[in-house]
Amino acid sequence: MLEAIPERDLSSESSKLIDQIVLTPKLPKGVNFETIRFLEVVIEHGIHKTMEPRNRALILWYFDSEASLDDLKRFTGVNNRGSVSYRIIKGMNKMHAALPTELQELYPKDKVIKLKDRRGNQNPEVRRKMSEAHKGITFSSERKKNMSAGAQKVNIRITLK
């Protein structure tokens, strides 16, 4: 796997450090193995060097650490996760387009251009307890009516049984 930038500095002075990539054995939580393999191929072919250093660092940092989109907001200078994910996906699309055709077929976009699966970060025991807590919940007819009315205000259709 890819090793992120030392000291997590995304400034232009540290962009030279981005090229010092070391494979490490453990995948961070939620990272798709196929995505990591795709990034390794991109690095093997030197395609990552054609990207703007700050975006390259963002992608490598995101996939090689436990950092979330929220964690990376302040380093990218944006206020929401959507802008961070947009930059990551856009950069990965550019790298994919720069691959030779045979590698593009070997690593299809729909399989490799994926963000981390956030569900993988939840403790299985917590997930089980939450699931158990929601089983058998019933709502009064007045509560159902209020929930439906609230949903209609925001144009959501909810069917309650």
- CA-to-CA distance for 124 and 6, rounded, in angstroms? 32
Q: Are residues 58 and 68 in the same domain?
A: yes
Q: Which two tokens stand for residue 85?
A: 């994910």
Query: Which residues span the domain enclosing 52?
Result: 6-121
d(CA 50, CA 95): 9
Percent of the chain clearing pLDDT 70 (strictly above): 70
53 and 16 share a domain? Answer: yes
Q: What is the mean pLDDT of the chain?
A: 76
Question: Domain count of the chain?
Answer: 2
> Same structural domain for residues 19 and 41?
yes
Q: Is 1 a domain residue? A: no
* Nearest residue to 31 (alpha-carbon basis) of 67, 4, 85: 67
Dihedral Cα 29, 32, 34, 39, nearest 10 deg: -70
Predicted confidence (pLDDT) at residue 52 exceeds the cutoff of 60 = yes
Q: Are 88 and 62 in contact (CB under 8 A)?
A: yes
* Burial of 136 per CB tally in 10 Å (0-12, 13-18, 19+): exposed
Which residue is listed with tokens 């790298």?
A: 95
Give the model's confidence band at 113: pLDDT under 50 very low, under 70 low, under 90 confident, else very high: very high
Which range, of 19-23, 31-35, 79-83, averages the lowest pLDDT?
19-23
